[in-house]
Amino acid sequence: MLKQLTVTDFALVSFLDVDLTSGLTVITGESGAGKSIVLGALGLVIGERANTEVIRHGAQRAVVSAEFELDEKTDAYAYLMELALADEDQPGRCLVRRVVSRDGRSRAFINGTPVTRQVLRTFTEGLIDIHGQHENQRLASKDVQLALLDDYGVIDADLQSLRASYRAWRDDLAAAERLRGLLASREDRASLLNYQLEELATLALAEGEFERIEKEHKRLSQAHDLRETVAVSLTSLEDMDPLRRTVRALEGIDDDQVQLVAAEEFLTSALSLIDDAMRDLRGYDDTLEVDPEHLTTIDARLALVHELSRKHQVMPADLASHYAKLQDELNTISMDRTEFDTLLESAQRHEAAYKKCAMVVSKQRHSAANGFSAAVSRCIKTLGIEGGELSLKFSPDESERGLESVEFRIVTNPNYPSASLSKIASGGERARISLAIQVVAAQKTALPCLVLDEADVGVGGTAADVVGRLLRALAEHTQVICVTHAPQVAALGDQHLRVHKDAEQDTHIEPLAEDTRIDELARMLAGADVTEESRDYARTLLKEASAVH
């Protein structure tokens, strides 16, 4: 509920601070006193556009603040939590502030945190619903009309399942479409990858093979020169007779002098090492076979390796790892195709679930439509529109709300066809029909705080009393704030606020006690000439109102 409204330098208001209660609050006052200022201030609270004209003459800015008490089960409470805007100490309390500066800037705050006007509108749309006699915008919306019917006669759990299955279906389709576009852009890449992999697969170069065949090619291509060099080396090493004679001569010396013994050992070791070297050279020479055919084969393979290396712009030794990298990329594209197929299958399952839920909801809607329209029609007649009837027109319209939309069609004169609520010519009729719809809907759902600007316009006497009683009934389910000129309606308020101007022409609002309330009702009954008779009638209205439950 709206607990408090504080206004500073707004229009004709210097400052006012109004405490509001639950139930029905009525606002009265003489014409021109400024009753509409309350509606204008609340308009800023719910995020309506602002201009500098609302700033009081001589002031630099206008400020409107509203304090709300929130139920933790409401969408508004959840929205605050989602945006981390809730008051940590009092999460059920919310303070909205709007500031309009003379330079044309408008700022909005929720619990002291700056927010955009759109955030403010989203937050407050479930808290306050302002209805003027010429602007029943909310109830003229087909979405709201469908929501009212659903609140009246559709199981909430079925609606939640419907929304969940629809969103899952649409999310899967959207994801599949995004992936379809991605895959389409990758098709050319996949074709190129397949071609490149086929080339590399034909080569079938193993890891480390390039280094091995490169060395083998080098050996084979130099085989003749290498064998000649080895032969010369062996010939030189075989001519070691002088050295051998030297060793034998030294062995014949009978002396164990250290240097002699060491020299003899070194020469013996040298001969042994030379013999080992000659054996290894002969073994190496045996490996240097001249095989022109094998050399041609290796040469051709190396040429292919270098060709693909240049083509793929990688080093020859990296061709094997490059093949693995390309294969991984192609596998990723293949996995994306699998994911795409999975998403389409999931979308089909969720679509089937959605259609099943939608049929259940549609059945409940059509079943509830007659009862809802009959109840509203009775209420319309009670409000003095004798030929008033409400009918519901369903139209195919697939959305998260189901398979259809609904339009409230109104007949106010049996001689004319039905029309939508927004097309009814009379503002007074539109206000009363909207009131009837709200009263019926309120029997099964908690509507937001309703602010009604002269819902009793065009009615008086008994009809005004009926309007007042309906407002009182509506206020049992939600907070109702009503600007009224009808004393019959004003008498039924749980709280009565009077708007008046002081000598400086500043607008003030004050709550009325019983005696001042009698005077205000008497003024509304008799005009400027308040008499004791009009006061007695005012007392009678209050007494009768106190008997209304």
Please write the tens of the pLDDT for every residue from 338-352: 777 888 889 999 999
Any domain includes 506: no
Closest CA to 110 of 48, 67, 74, 71: 67
Helix H or strand E segment including 51: none
Range scoring the smallest mean pLDDT among 82-86, 262-266, 429-433: 429-433
The whole-chain average pLDDT of the chain stands at 83
How far apart CA 276 and CA 272 sit, in angstroms, is 6
Residue 307 falls inside a structural domain: yes
pLDDT tens-place string over residues 467-486: 888 888 888 888 888 888 88
Strands of 341-437, DSSP E: 389-399, 402-411, 419-420
Q: Is pLDDT at 201 greater than 80 in this prediction?
A: no
Q: What pairs with residue 64 in β-bridges?
A: 7, 98
In a domain, residue 311? The reply is: yes
Q: Determine the structural domain holding residue 281 and report its residue range.
A: 181-337
Residue 284 lies in a domain: yes
**How many domains are contained in the chain?**
1
This prediction's pTM: 0.59
Which of 216-225, 253-262, 370-379 has the least mean pLDDT?
Answer: 216-225
Residues in the chain: 549
Does residue 54 have a pLDDT over 80?
Answer: yes
The strand pairing partners of 180, in sequence order, are none
Residue 389 lies in a domain: no
C-alpha–C-alpha distance, residues 166 and 4, integer Å: 40
User: 273 in a domain, yes or no?
Assistant: yes
Does 72 map to a domain? Answer: no
Is 244 inside any structural domain?
A: yes
